[in-house]
Chain A
């Protein structure tokens, strides 16, 4: 392998470059970035950055001198526009042609658009890029009323920040409860109550039929017919993987760019990783995950393969979300669980939900209980086991499970 070109400059791309250099790869590494500026961390954008606890320089994934010191080239503000598979080259929007020995697609995902009239009005925004977060931060102090569409992680995190600042928040969710796909009913209900306690008006099972306004968004019309006035509307209804580049190059795409357990596409010179990659996971079929853990671990896995040590990707998924003073940590994937075991008392503000399918532990959701999360990661990685009875017993020390 002579050179590695990565389309993307997010968590996965930077980790891949770092791991390749740690593994003594000495060929050229080029990252092709849509945006200008230093590659940055996304998770804080809807949390610490927006809340003013973290400034912009602190968002950088690596300092400016890292790229020179590690001999990593970042092509800024010049999106990849095509892949010439026969010629082993990527063409960018500016017309540059960048040859590759191996190409890695780390194209990430984009905000899902809201398919209703008025969704293109000024004042209807997303919160994914640094530019969007900067724009939001700049006007946050002037907002009196916001409507947030979608009670997923981003919607909930933003709602917590806005409510804390005294902004009147209406949070609209089409599903019967927040984070429907991500967490158990127990955790979801707890979060719903917490947000309501912070003053947010949370409407579940409610659709949006239009954004109202002439020159800019002034309100949101709900499926119930009610119109909720708003100075700003945040659309946070999930993301779609960026698969256009891969599809145009003839690579298989579905819910993401299709890869095998080695993160390889059908083209031996092209791999994909992170939010954009649809990969096989034992017991789950083909899945796609949106998380820093998945991006970082897939990058390490792929770096190992490119360094001559191939291994199937099989890392335990884990996630976190900060909402006000609530620190939610999730280990595993809870889909398909048929019973939940509560550890700790929700009334105390610190508890975990152990999600089992029969006797098999699928996932653990911890709220302000980091030790449970750490223990869960051991259990779910197969290093130890905990029965439902042990999990439910407050006197049982999880560290003693084996």
Chain B
């Protein structure tokens, strides 16, 4: 199964498996990765699964959706490489992707 690495604000890395088609948010919550809340359950309605995508992967994850863009504009500490990871679906092309979690989701 493809893998994704979440790196916490404090530097702790968590590498977990995610099935193809599964969102990175789901993989984080299912594996109890700290720093990803996913309060709305993947509806792109809460902006509590904010991550920063590492430069090497930015092109591969594709663009933000329109709703996601709007939600991110209300999130704290956004950067050019911010995404809501409920909107990033795992695929073989993303095997090994690395994302960083912000200091907090609220």
A residues 37-58 touching B (CB-CB < 8 Å): 41, 43-44
Known: A370-B70, A375-B74. A41 touches B41 (CB 8 A): yes
- Residue in contact with B34 in the complex, picked from A22, A292, A373, CB distance below 8 Å: A22
- B37-54: contact bitstring with A at CB < 8 Å (1 yes, 0 no)? 101110001010000000
Q: Does B31 contact A (CB under 8 A)?
A: yes
B residues 4-35 touching A (CB-CB < 8 Å): 29-32, 34
A204 to B34, CA, bound (A): 47
Q: Does B81 contact A (CB under 8 A)?
A: no
Nearest CB of A to B65, in Å: 12
A62 to B41, CA, bound (A): 11
Known: A293-B39, A296-B39, A329-B45. A66 touches B73 (CB 8 A): no
- Contact indicator A371/B45 (Cβ below 8 Å): no
Q: Does A134 contact B (CB under 8 A)?
A: no
A399 to B74, CA, bound (A): 7
Q: Does A201 contact B (CB under 8 A)?
A: no
Known: A296-B39, A329-B45. A66 touches B30 (CB 8 A): yes
- Contact indicator A18/B70 (Cβ below 8 Å): no
Q: Does B71 contact A (CB under 8 A)?
A: yes
- Contact indicator A69/B45 (Cβ below 8 Å): no
User: Which chain A residues border B40 with CB–CB below 8 Å?
Assistant: 320
User: Which chain A residues border B70 with CB–CB below 8 Å?
Assistant: 370-371, 374
- Which residue from chain B places its CB closest to the CB of A18 in the assembled complex? B32
- B68-105: contact bitstring with A at CB < 8 Å (1 yes, 0 no)? 00110110000000000000000000000000000000
- Contact indicator A370/B71 (Cβ below 8 Å): yes
- A5-29: contact bitstring with B at CB < 8 Å (1 yes, 0 no)? 0000000000000100110000000
A292 to B73, CA, bound (A): 24
User: Which chain A residues border B32 with CB–CB below 8 Å?
Assistant: 18, 21-22, 66, 69-70
- Contact indicator B74/A320 (Cβ below 8 Å): no
A18 to B29, CA, bound (A): 9
User: Which chain A residues border B45 with CB–CB below 8 Å?
Assistant: 320, 327, 329, 370, 373
- Which residue from chain A places its CB closest to the CB of B74 in the assembled complex? A374
- Which residue from chain B places its CB closest to the CB of A398 in the assembled complex? B74
- Residue in contact with B71 in the complex, picked from A21, A292, A320, A374, CB distance below 8 Å: A374
- A293-336: contact bitstring with B at CB < 8 Å (1 yes, 0 no)? 10010000000000000000000000010000001010000000
Q: Does A95 contact B (CB under 8 A)?
A: no
- A359-394: contact bitstring with B at CB < 8 Å (1 yes, 0 no)? 000000000001101110110000000000000000
- Residue in contact with A370 in the complex, picked from B29, B34, B41, B67, CB distance below 8 Å: B67
**A residues engaging B (CB < 8 A)?**
18, 21-22, 41, 43-44, 62-63, 66, 69-70, 292-293, 296, 320, 327, 329, 370-371, 373-375, 377-378, 399
Given contacts A63-B30, A374-B70, 18 further A-B contacts (CB under 8 A): A21-B32, A22-B34, A43-B41, A44-B41, A62-B29, A69-B32, A70-B32, A292-B39, A293-B39, A320-B45, A371-B70, A371-B71, A371-B73, A373-B45, A374-B47, A374-B71, A374-B74, A375-B74
Q: 4 closest Cβ contacts across the A-B interface? A: A374-B74, A22-B34, A371-B70, A63-B30
28 pairs, A vs B, C-beta closer than 8 Å: A22-B34, A44-B41, A62-B30, A63-B30, A66-B30, A66-B31, A69-B31, A70-B32, A292-B39, A296-B37, A320-B40, A320-B45, A327-B45, A329-B45, A370-B67, A370-B70, A370-B71, A371-B70, A371-B73, A371-B74, A373-B45, A374-B47, A374-B74, A375-B74, A377-B74, A378-B74, A399-B73, A399-B74
